[in-house]
Amino acid sequence: MSETPKKQWHGIPRDEVPWLPTVDPEACIGCQLCYVTCGRGVYEMHDGIAVAVSAMECMVGCSTCGNVCPTGAISFPNMDLIWKMERERQIFRTVKKEALRKHEREDALKARDAAMSAARPVIATRAKVELAGEFGDKKFLLRLEALIENEPFDIVNLRLEVPTVKGARQKAPSFMTFEVTSERQEGVAPFLERVTTLVRDAGLVLVAATPVA
């Protein structure tokens, strides 16, 4: 039966790295801050006192639990021990290899995400409509309002440009722009077709109807 490989820290067996938390039970007030703070499950609470039941799971160099302990009940070895081990065991050759593998994994993930994004269809939830014509007696706005009633879409940023008020009364061509937007962040394309049909049925000139991603 094969043995379970020992955990290592940059090529050094973890049980040879002297980085372990020590809890002073007399100073511990059972606040559980270390138990909640540690992301590696090092601590458990026994009879209201913190106990480092999985000390070898502690991240080498991390002393967050000791730093936040309100009574200073948690202590760690001096960092000089770790720095000395780094030099003596020449861990940076291993670190460079580990860093290269990490860069390769991250690059692969970025490439995968980019490919997925490129393959994912872009669904436009907003579209800009531009039209021209005579708006005076066509009741276009009333018909547009009726079209969006009880629909999950709205008309926003509507602007009507007329040459002059008298000109508009005399049926001079005017220019209108507005945006069709989805209230549910759904694709706006099918409803946009209904809007453009309304524009044409009203005898107006559709200049552009452009989906906006």
Identical fold between 8-88 and 126-212: yes
CB 162 within 8 A of CB 168: yes
| Architecture of the CATH domain 8-88 | 2-Layer Sandwich (3.30)
CB 117 within 8 A of CB 199: no
CA–CA distance, 14 with 34 (Å, rounded to integer): 21
Residue % of the chain over a pLDDT of 90: 58
Q: 146-195: per-residue pLDDT in tens?
A: 999 989 999 999 998 877 766 656 666 788 999 999 888 888 888 889 99
pLDDT at residue 68 above 90? yes
pLDDT at residue 80 above 70? yes
In 10 A of CB 116, how many CB atoms? Answer: 9
Predicted confidence at residue 139, as pLDDT, reads 81
Q: 200-209: per-residue pLDDT in tens?
A: 888 888 888 8
Token reading at 115 = 């490919």
Could you tell me which residues are beta bridge partners of residue 209?
129
Q: Cα angle vertex 84, ends 83, 86, to 5°?
A: 65
Sorted by where each begins, the domain ranges of the chain are 8-88, 126-212
CB 14 within 8 A of CB 43: no
CA–CA distance, 113 with 99 (Å, rounded to integer): 21
* Whether the model pTM is above 0.85: no
CA–CA distance, 195 with 104 (Å, rounded to integer): 50
* Lookup result for tokens 């409803």: 191
Token reading at 87 = 């030099």
- 126-212 in CATH: which number? 3.30.70.260
152: DSSP letter: S
Tell me which of 22-26, 95-99, 106-110, 132-136 is least confident.
Answer: 132-136
CA–CA distance, 132 with 210 (Å, rounded to integer): 15
pLDDT at residue 56 above 60? yes
Average pLDDT over residues 95-115: 90
